[in-house]
Amino acid sequence: MNVELICVGTELLLGNILNTNAKYISEKCAELGLSMFYQTVVGDNPDRLKDCILTALGRSDCIITSGGLGPTNDDLTKEIITEALGLKLVEDKETVDRLYYFFNKISRPGQSMTPNNLKQAMVPEGCTVLTNKNGTAPGILIEKDGKTVIMLPGPPRELVPLFEEYCIPYFLKKSNETIYSVMVKLVGIGESEAAARIDDILNNSTNPTVAPYAKTAEVHLRITAKAHDEEQAKAMIEPVFERIKDVLGPYIYSTDEEETLEDAIIHLLNEKGLTITTAESCTGGLLAGRLINVSGASDVYKEGFVTYSNEAKAKRLGVSKDTLDTFGAVSEECAAEMARGAAMAAGTDIGVSTTGIAGPLGGTPEKPVGLVYIGIYYNGGTKVIKTNVPRGRQEIRERTVVRALDLIRTTVLQY
């Protein structure tokens, strides 16, 4: 079965956004063993959109579209495809109910239901409505004359869950095959270095395949096997996983698809019965934000400190005037005192601190933009790591958060 992708959106043609949907859907289709020969991006123009749809219907078994399902008159994907298939639009009662429910639950002014929104409840006759839990536009799957057309909303946080919930099972059922994959999540090693260490595995992987994905300061490896049943696929994956573990074991923090780095850390702390607090300068709350991203973090995380000024570092965390005067706020000494002081103030087992130059201003030859100290207090002692990421402000801060999370992980695991 071959699949063709049509992404609808002027914002793509104008280069306002990166087409992450194309990458996601292509990747998933490859894993499913579906051939993709063409991807097209077209704007919200009826003639050109229709032209692309007709071309695709002529050369592919299945068309997946993203975008153009919104409530405005610009959003035309559904109307054009329905017409191209010679069908009519009918109102979907369930979607109408869902829209009313959605808008009733949102009580703020400026987000009330407009007549335009009801346009989103119109669907081609005979289609399967793919219930969108994350937005107002439903996905649509329709089979006609041996062709399948799947329409998905453009926002990735709506498209991805719909693809996982409806499209993957649909394609698997069609093919009589199953795919199974294991995600190996690494932290503390760069993508090039990880790839170099498992070079032979990456180059010789056909089934199972091993594909690396870089995330901010993390590397994820997906091992995917195609087989007649899950049992068989798992058996094929096992030896490949073992070889990866031999080489990269200490960097693996999870093999659970859903588990984030912060999940893994909160679970680890929970398991060990440890509590933690944060004292942040350059990351200014982002580290706390990541930890509290975990539902149930409240058992191990009670409070944290955002101490951006020197005064706050002294007052809240007890960083000494001497340290601030002699070494400055961006120093190993300050990071250590912040971590210890935070743990003392909050009465926790562990304290983690960040202090650095996130730029773009404030760098000096001795303390350049990108210099960050990350401190940890645990078991009566402190440890500080120094990192230097000469990048943009946001990336320095994001990478610091991941390094800090990894420092928590490795420190707790060592004890």
Query: Per CB under 8 A, which of residues 161..180 are in contact with a second copy?
Result: none
Asked if 156 interacts with a second copy (CB under 8 A), we say no
Nearer to a second copy, 142 or 198 (CB): 198
Window 76-95: residues binding a second copy (CB under 8 A): none
Rounded to a whole number of angstroms, the minimum distance from the CB of residue 257 to a second copy is 11
| Residue reference for tokens 């409806």 | 166
Q: Is 353 helix (H, G, I), strand (E, B) or coil?
A: strand
Q: How far apart are the first and last CA of the chain?
A: 53
H-run or E-run covering 240: helix 230-248
Q: Is 96 in the site for a second copy (CB under 8 A)?
A: no
Kindly state whether residue 321 participates in binding a second copy, applying the rule CB under 8 A. Answer: no
Give the integer Cα–Cα distance in Å for 11 and 17.
Answer: 6
Looking at the Cβ atoms of 40 and 95, the one nearer to a second copy is 40
Pick one of 87, 96, 268, 292: the residue that binds a second copy (CB under 8 A).
Answer: 292
278 near a second copy, rule: CB under 8 A: yes
Q: Does 42 bind a second copy (CB under 8 A)?
A: yes
Instruction: Judge contact between 374 and 387, C-beta under 8 A.
Output: yes
Angstrom CA distances, 361 to 358, 364, 370, 394, 398, stand at 8, 9, 11, 13, 18
Min dist CB 17 to a second copy, Å, is 7
Tokens coding 329: 């706020």
Nearer to a second copy, 104 or 326 (CB): 104
Q: How far apart are CA 90 and CA 333, in angstroms?
A: 68
Q: Determine which residue in the list 86, 110, 273, 365 makes contact with a second copy, applying CB under 8 A.
A: 110
Provide the 10 A C-beta neighbour count for residue 299: 11
Q: Which of 70, 124, 138, 375 binds a second copy (CB under 8 A)?
A: 70
> In whole angstroms, how close is the CB of 199 to a second copy at the nearest point?
8
Q: Return the DSSP state at 138.
A: P
Q: Is 272 in the site for a second copy (CB under 8 A)?
A: no
Under the binding rule (CB under 8 A), the answer on residue 46 touching a second copy is no
Using CB under 8 A as the binding rule, whether residue 274 contacts a second copy is answered as no
By beta-carbon proximity to a second copy, the closer residue of 146 and 361 is 361
Q: Which of 54, 106, 235, 247 binds a second copy (CB under 8 A)?
A: 106
Q: How far apart are CA 344 and CA 337, in angstroms?
A: 10
Which strand (E) or helix (H) includes residue 374? Answer: strand 371-378
Among 1, 33, 61, 71, the residue binding a second copy under the rule CB under 8 A is 71
293-312 footprint of a second copy as x/- string (CB under 8 A) = x-xxxx--xxxxxxxxx-xx
Work out how close the CB of 121 gets to a second copy at its nearest, in angstroms, rounded to a whole number. 14
CA torsion angle 133 136 137 143 (round to 10): 40
Q: Which residues 383-412 are close enough to bind a second copy by CB under 8 A?
A: 386-395, 397
Which residue spans within 43-146 are E strands per DSSP?
Answer: 62-66, 89-91, 122-124, 128-130, 139-144
Q: Provide the minimum distance between the beta carbon of 284 and a second copy in the complex, in angstroms, as a whole number.
A: 3
The smaller minimum CB distance to a second copy, of residues 88 and 104, is found at 104
Contacts of 83-86 spanning 24+ positions with Cβ under 8 A: 83/50, 84/50, 84/53, 84/54, 84/57, 85/124, 85/142, 85/144, 85/149
Is residue 192 close enough to count as binding a second copy by CB under 8 A? Answer: yes
Nearer to a second copy, 54 or 125 (CB): 54
Q: Does 30 sit near a second copy (CB under 8 A)?
A: yes
Of 325-384, binders to a second copy (CB under 8 A) are: 346, 358-362, 370
Is 40 one of the binding residues for a second copy (CB under 8 A)? yes
Using DSSP bridges, classify how beta strands 2-8 and 62-66 pair: parallel, antiparallel or unpaired. parallel
CB atoms within 10 A of CB 172: 14
Of the listed pieces 144-152, 263-271, 290-298, 319-327, which binds a second copy according to CB under 8 A?
290-298
Written as six digits, the tokens of 279 are 């004292």
Size of the site for a second copy (CB under 8 A): 117
